[in-house]
Amino acid sequence: MLLVTGGAGFIGSNIVASLNEAGRSDVVVNDVLGSQVKWRNLAKRQIADFVPPEELFAWLDGRKLDAVIHMGAISDTTASDGDLVLSTNFRLSLRLLDWCSANDTPFLYASSAATYGDGADGFADDWSGAALRRLRPMNLYGFSKHLFDLALTDRLRRGERMPPQWAGLKFFNVFGPNEYHKGEMMSLVAKRFDEARAGKPVRLFKSHRDGIGDGEQKRDFIYVNDAVAVVRWLLETPKVSGIFNVGTGAARSFRDLISAMFAALGRAPDIEYVEMPPAIRGQYQYFTQGEVENLRRAGYNAGFTPLEAAVKDYVTGYLDRSDRYR
């Protein structure tokens, strides 16, 4: 039996889908559905149980699990309730780490590229104590994930009991089906698709940095299928532990991303550049790109879907259909 926390969320529900497609129905989801459309992320899935957060540790008591895949978190980068974010993203993660350590259960968890802050020190997934302590996240979400990375690796260095396998995944800009409940945290493709299909121009921010053109701000965009493939590989490779970037290693511009969306619709790009709000100019990231050599050295040799192919699959397989869910 596998437990997926945040299993009704974006990446979590895609992990559940992938496990189902591989023949596993013994997947337990821990999440909050609320009254919105989040339940649709699981509508095509088979699960063994659905456990609300307040019942999680009572449910775990006495259980034997193949692994805990911890994707649950408050992932809104604009979140401002520090007590709630740390309780959910840091302290709950520590309790799950304790349980997995005590019960010899593999523990895979979502860290975040937000831990790198403005990227001034690069995006190398060096999880030595000195390297981690140099990072300065720019938002509360990234800070909460960074705190957990520090706490886990400090336990390891002190020789404390750890799970038989543990892995932190620093996801970069993941996009794909089942992200629709995320509102403003959705990918730009999901947020702007309906406008583009309706014949409206897509707006992108102008650049306010010398040497970088409008729309040429770059991110490491990774299709959710590729992110899930890394999780599945870790489950199948129990000797591998560590903190790993989950990106493609190849930054692409927002102009490339939106042009790929228009191409998938069979149309020429229609992009309008607008002023970036002054309030965010000082902390806006112009470039992110995950170094993936650490993952390669660990033995992961699968490729990553090229941006144009990934966007086409997302548009034609999901966004441009009446049923957009995986």
Q: Is 106 helix (H, G, I), strand (E, B) or coil?
A: coil
Residue ranges of alpha helices (H) inside 61-162 are 82-86, 92-102, 129-133, 140-157
The upper half-sphere exposure of residue 250, i.e. CA atoms within 13 Å in the direction of its Cβ, equals 11
DSSP category for residue 310: H
Q: Is 232 exposed, middle or buried (0-12, 13-18, 19+ CB in 10 A)?
A: middle
Among residues 116, 141, 180, 314, the one annotated as catalytic is 141
- 171 three-class SS: strand
Give Cβ neighbours of residue 319 (< 8 Å, ≥ 6 apart).
189, 190, 193
Report the Cα 291 to chain-centroid distance in Å: 16
Return d(Cα 291, Cα 245) in angstroms, integer.
7
In the chain, the amino acid numbered 168 is G
Main-chain dihedrals φ then ψ at residue 99, nearest 5 degrees: -65, -45
Print the SS3 string covering 254-292: HHHHHHHHHHHCCCCCCEEEECCCHHHHCCCCCECCCCC
Q: Report the run of H or E that residue 189 belongs to, with start and end.
A: helix 188-197
> Dihedral, CA atoms, 18, 124, 284, 304, nearest 10 degrees?
-30
141 catalytic? Reply is yes
Catalytic residue, chosen from 182, 191, 286, 300, is: 182
* Residue 36: half-sphere exposure toward Cβ, Cα within 13 Å: 11
**Cα–Cα nearest to 106, from 156, 67, 152, 65:** 67
Active site residues: 141, 182
